Structure 1
Amino acid sequence: MSGHISRGASPATGAENRLFVAHLRGSHLHTTQTEIEAPGPAGPLKGTLLSPDTGDMPVVLIVPGSGATDRNGNAPSWLQASTYRLLAEGLCEEGIASVRIDKRGMYGSASAIPDANDVVIDDYAADVHSWVAAIRARAGASSVWVLGHSEGGLVALLAARQSADIAGLILVAAAGRPLGPVLRQQLQSNPANVPILENAMSILDSLEAGDRVDAASIDPVLMPAFRPQVQRFLMSELTIDPAALLADYMKPVLIVQGARDIQVAVQDAELLQRANPQAEMAVIADANHVLKAVRTADLQENLAAYSNPDLPLADGVVEAISAFVHASSLNRA
């Protein structure tokens, strides 16, 4: 992807930054990057608004994936891909504004609730409603599109059931099956998990049945994923069928799936489209789960992309999303 964007100070400062970008088609855009807030349960939810100065433009709300993923697409451990920041910058070059957000209880949104683990997935969907209202009020946006990445896709689907102000959905690397089968497949596909597999399957069976699992019964290797503090959240989402939710959705939908994704399969995207044949689907040949360019089937190359913020997004990711948003926005006019 051609074009250049020069970055100002970190969005975490909340200062308004003036950025100059070269548009892909050769014209020049000035853009504004600034902190934005939405009402949360006990304190504000916070995020970053990046917008081209082109008057009324569509806005994409980027809903992050699972765990402690921040507004830029990074987490404290090994996830440093900056996927959401790169996506926001790419969309800005295409004349589309975006808001990328910190989840309630985390990072900039730390004061929204006292305990970041004290959530169910419907809470995140409620936050999407709050964000959409705030974006419409702050940015004056006539259309707000909700992009959910990975687990964020399920959050987007849940939110879309109850919000007339959502223009449409962009489901990126989103599962087409309930989380239980997805986790089982992920665990079983890694030969290194053989020693813990029986314990993992037992834990999933219990959680799907609505029964908590005592910490003493969890292998230490599995504790980060199934520790008691997150079991309530897991139970809230394990049995939700995203394809069933999408089947009832009547507004525009784009499904984006990377062919190099080792966490969510192309078959999941196909399940989603089968549930809603009107949905558009873009399979990106060289994109992995964090949308980075991965040229081969080498597992180590794929995993290394998760911690490389300098690796660009795969060709076609931004283009597919921007083409969908612009075309669908014109159809709404």
Structure 2
Amino acid sequence: MKTKIIVLIILFVQFTLYAQEIKFIETELSIPTASISIHGTLLNPTSNGKKPLVILIPGSGPTDRNGNNSAMKNNSLKFLAEALANNNIASYRFDKSVLSYTKEQKSKIDSITFNTFINETKTIIKYFKTSKKYSKIIVIGHSQGSLVGIIAAKNNADALISIAGAGRSIDQVLKEQIGKQAPFLIADTEKVLNELKKGNTVDEFNPMLVSLFNKSVQPFLISWIQYNPQEEIKKLAIPILIINGTKDIQVSTIDAEQLHRANPNSEIKIIENMNHIFKEIKGDVNENMASYNNPELPIIQELSIIITTFVNHLK
């Protein structure tokens, strides 16, 4: 009996040391694009042989390679990249291009459109395909990055993974959000969105909507609003995995189901208790919101397991 206990203790210690071992090499990598150089981090597993590579596309706003911005720090993308690297999957995660401009370059920032993000992502995919160092190139888009990834992956990537991606065009999403938060503004919102959808900027609108329809962001919205995620995902003939969480308070699981129905060849996984930033939430909305600014809280383990299984089954 004592011998068995000693063996178990030794095995536990060995496993702990193995788990703590760094199993990847981290490299800073900048990739030039037509707009600006994209700055990111490449994680390469230390094991021998060609590995699959995932390209992690961040969500909306001035979000960096780790999934953080000035309003929140949760390290969601950083933790996911490291978990995948420990599962023998390489990754490249990058800062959104807006973060590479200075405040003095406001005109260049204002010239960024949704198509800018798409073209930058296509260039990143091409960079790694040209290197021929990886067995597969898989695009993972989070939130707004889901639609970017869906469009950029066509004829470029070997597979696509959408995490917390909207299943409707941005005008439909905004209408729903305003309808829930400020229903008295829905008519004014629809009026502006209808013009933006036609490709027209709007000079006069309800001042209460200025944060949403500031004149400088209207060109970006015009370029974004033209894309319907369901129509775009129909165009893909590559393996697709759609993921969402039951505790996501930003993007509903209904959106994941809409994307799945649009391309029935896709796989769909709904992760119980996962929120928008991959954290496990067992409590109320206050716990959910607090997780957005908790950089030490790990991501839910099921996410990396599901992604690893999908990637390993790619032919």
Same fold by TM-score, threshold 0.5 exceeded?
yes
Task: Assess, with a 3 A threshold, how the Cα gap between structure 1 residues 111 and 197 changes in structure 2: closer, same or farther.
Answer: same
Q: Which residue of 2 aligns with 1:262?
A: 249
CA offset digits 1:39-92 (Å, max 9, x no partner): 222542111111211231111100111111111111112x21211111111111
Which of 130, 143, 147 does residue 136 from structure 2 map onto? 143
Letter in 2 for 1:255: I
- Out of 99, 120, 131, the residue aligned to residue 127 of structure 1 is 120
**Structure 1 residues 246, 212: closer, same or farther in 2, change over 3 A?**
same
Q: Write out per-residue CA displacement over residues 216-261 of structure 1, whole angstroms, 9 at most, x where no aligned residue.
A: 53425x3333211111111111131111111121110000101111
SS at 1:254 equivalent: strand
Q: 1:149 to 1:207 in 2, by over 3 A?
A: same
Residue of structure 1 in register with 2:65 after alignment = 71
* Residues 1:322 and 2:311 aligned together: no
- Partners of 1:174 and 1:248 in 2: CA distance: 16
Structure 1 residues 142 and 188, CA, compared in 2 at 3 Å: closer, same or farther?
same
Question: 2 CA distance for matches of 1:279 and 1:42?
Answer: 32
* CA–CA distance in structure 2, aligned partners of residues 251 and 124 of structure 1: 21
Match of 2:110 among 117, 123, 137: 117
The equivalent of 2:188 in structure 1 is 199
Counterpart contact for 2:23–2:86, Cα < 8 Å: no
Aligned to 1:217: 205
1:5 corresponds to: none
TM-score (norm 2): 0.87
Structure 1 residues 327 and 38 mapped into 2: Cα distance closer, same or farther (>3 Å)?
A: same
Matched, 1:308 2:281: no
Q: Paired residue for 2:214, among 227, 234, 241?
A: 227
Matched, 1:294 2:281: yes
Q: For residues 257 and 16 of structure 2, what CA distance do their matches in structure 1 show?
A: 33
Q: Which residue of 2 aligns with 1:208?
A: 197
Q: Which moved more, 1:318-327 or 1:117-126?
A: 117-126
Q: Percentage identity across aligned positions?
A: 32
Partner SS state of residue 158, structure 2: strand
> In the alignment, which residue of structure 1 is the partner of 2:154?
161
Which structure is higher in helix share? 2
- Aligned partner of 1:181 in structure 2 is 172
- Structure 1 residues 300 and 29, CA, compared in 2 at 3 Å: closer, same or farther? closer
Distance in 1 (CA, whole Å) between partners of 2:80 and 2:106 is: 28
CA distance in 2, matches of 1:289, 1:114: 32
The amino acid of 1:186's aligned partner reads: Q
| CA–CA distance in structure 2, aligned partners of residues 60 and 80 of structure 1 | 22
Cα deviations across residues 3-55 of structure 1 (Å, max 9, x unaligned)?
Answer: xxxxxxxxxxxxxxxxxxx8999695531111112122254211111121123
After TM superposition, give the deviation of residue 292 of structure 1 in Å.
Answer: 1.4
**Most deviating of 180-189 and 80-89:** 180-189
TM-fit CA distance, 1:147: 0.4
Give the alignment partner of residue 77 of structure 2, picking from 84, 98, 106: 84
Residue of structure 2 in register with 1:285 after alignment: 272
1:275-308 deviation digits (Å, cap 9, x = unpaired): 1111111101111111111113x22222222111
Partner residue, 2:91? 98
Q: CA deviation at 1:178?
A: 1.1
Q: Match of 1:180, SS?
A: helix
Work out which of the two has the higher radius of gyration on C-alpha atoms and give 1 or 2. Answer: 2
Do residues 33 (structure 1) and 20 (structure 2) align?
no
The CA distance in 1 between the partners of 2:80 and 2:193, in whole Å, is 33
SS, match of residue 75 in structure 1: coil
Separation in 1, partners of 2:77, 2:313: 22
Q: Which runs of 5+ in 1 are unaligned?
A: 1-21
Residue 177 of structure 1 aligns to a residue whose secondary structure is coil
Distance 1:110-1:94 versus aligned 2 partners, 3 A rule: farther
* Cα displacement (A) at 1:114: 6.5
Alpha-carbon spacing, 1:120–1:311, altered in 2? closer, same or farther (3 Å)? same
Q: SS where residue 34 of structure 1 aligns?
A: strand
Q: Distance in 1 between matches of 2:312 and 2:119?
A: 26
Count of equivalent residues = 300
TM-score when normalising by structure 1: 0.82
